[in-house]
Chain A
Amino acid sequence: MNRLDYSVARPAESGLAVNKVIKNTYMLLSMTLLFSALTAAVSVVVQMPPMTHLLSLGGAILLMWFVLPRTANSSTGLWVVFAITGLLGFGLGPMLSYYLNMPNGPQIVATALGGTGIIFMGISGYALTTRKDFSFMGGFLVAGLLVVLVVMLANIFLSMPALSLALSAAVIMLMSGFILYDTSRMIHGGENNYILMTISLYMSIYNIFVHLLHLLGALSGDD
């Protein structure tokens, strides 16, 4: 009888744990998005110079590589997540100022923001409702990311606008794939740490926003 009880109770417990990870991830994600919007607004208002983007991204990446893995299992990890997302938001300031100064800049920024939200909700909703296991995508996504990074590196010196637009389109598709992959990992218990899951989803959203803004800005006819 006891054995039967355990077999019934275990899936229920694991289901509850998964629901808790999903709930905590989305709660922390919405708070970090609001916080980075705030830091981005501050950066626009004080008119930070262009190098802010590079320095903030560099700082955020260092925190992600060296501090977050050591703190992700403690409450300190929450502060680190806010530091990373705050820095990333602050780094967006010069880019946002540039687009906002274009003739239809506010429309482009608002479209990129709304578009990013719709893409994220659509992809997450798809993964959450189909409950399909997308773990098979891992190798493909990371290989794609490596290729994109190498081509980006080459384009810093080649400076080809068409290649830059193609890269932005590729990043949007790749990051959509990462949202599918991460949401599926969350549903199927592949990742139980909501702090790491939040950063992973945040990075996908951040990259979709930045590259959608680039695409819309370049193809709006005013760039």
Chain B
Amino acid sequence: MDWMKIGWALLLVLMILALLPRAKAMMTDSPKAQPGDWNAVLLPILGVVAFVMLLITLVR
């Protein structure tokens, strides 16, 4: 259905436009990461990646 595609595209454009000013503010106002901070993020995210891969093998 083409009009559904147009509807989704419109919704996404509106979301991008609404997010843009907030994104700019957050990118400039966010505190800088300290050494080791990103390692603390990497651990749970890698855990999620491994878990999702496990789920995929379970449903195959």
Contact = CB atoms under 8 A, between A and B. Distances in A.
A219 B57 CA distance: 9
A111 B55 CA distance: 7
Interface residues of A, number: 49
Interface string B5-37: 101110111111011101100111111111001
A119 B51 contact: yes
Contact of B59 (A57, A119, A157, A216): A216
Query: Is the interface on chain B under 10, 10 to 19, 20 to 34, or 35 or more residues?
Result: 35 or more
Nearest to B40: A132
A123 B51 CA distance: 12
Interface stretch (A26-34, A36-44, A147-155): A147-155
B41 A134 contact: yes
Interface of B: 1, 4-5, 7-9, 11-16, 18-20, 22-23, 26-34, 37, 40-41, 43-45, 47-49, 51-52, 55-56, 58-60
A153 B51 contact: no
